[in-house]
Amino acid sequence: MSDKLYDIEAAITEDVSRALAEDVRGGDLTASLVPESARGHARVLAREDGVIAGIEWFQRCFDELDPDCEIFWHVEDGKHVAAGVQFCEITGNARAMLTAERAALNFLQLLSAVATKTRAFVDAVDGTGARILDTRKTLPGLRLAQKYAVRAGGGYNHRIGLYDGILIKENHIMAAGGINAALQAAFALVQHQAPRDTMIEIEVETLEQLREALDCGAKLILIDNMSLDQMRDAGRILAASGCNGVELEASGGVSLASVRAIAETGVHRISVGSLTKDVKALDLSMRFSMH
């Protein structure tokens, strides 16, 4: 599991630059109707309960267009806000504020939605010892932002990308010549090329494959699309194997309704693709006035 988000500051810069470029291009025609020197004030309100995430992305949108703007937050990333609560105030050049509004809210609404959904899953498994993880099923170009939001919601990051972790899936197993061949190649890669702390995980689809993976020295095993009974059996097989330090990760069709039962089978990790790919923007609103 990745213990850090790589180059998050660079990601914020790139994300915001891209968002402003696609929205503004040569200029904001509508904002040009406002006097150039006019000053504005805005309040950001929550229209529904949620967990806030994406403050740096939101703030950078305004800073890029008006470096002298003043933004005061009543909340920080990872904190819950209730519907109707005002949690941010902005003062600055009115044109710049109106231009930045949509891009800034897009980031804040999306990332807060991810954090809110993650928190719901985390709360659902509270007390079981299971951890909630994200996946690579992210919106193109916003992976680090969404993985940051998962952390703000209390979840954990799986590998960031193909470059920082090895996840051997069924097609890799087939192409490599089997579970043992794939694992031995992975062990050799980490021994001689990749960083020594590189994650090595292998996916199994049957309990027999689980036994084989354990025999071959796997330390992190993804049990994919198994029933609750099969997950419990997997835990018993692991306990009987005498293999120390091995973790089981459940995945496949995990929902908020099913995640508690999955956690209670004794798995250590539960990866949930819907945290980042099936999200509905948190309803936030920016109210503007002349200062």
User: Which residues are marked as active site?
Assistant: 102, 137, 169, 203, 224
The whole-angstrom separation of Cα 73 and Cα 130 is 33
Of 239, 278, 250, 237, residue with least CA distance to 125: 250
Tokens representing 237 are 């097989």
The whole-angstrom separation of Cα 193 and Cα 163 is 12
**CB-based burial of residue 233 (10 Å sphere; 0-12 exposed, 13-18 middle, 19+ buried)?**
middle
Helices marked H in the chain? 8-24, 55-65, 94-124, 143-152, 170-176, 179-192, 207-215, 228-241, 259-263, 274-277
What residue type is assigned to position 144 of the chain? L
Neighbours of 225 (CB within 10 A): 12
What residue type is assigned to position 252 of the chain? G
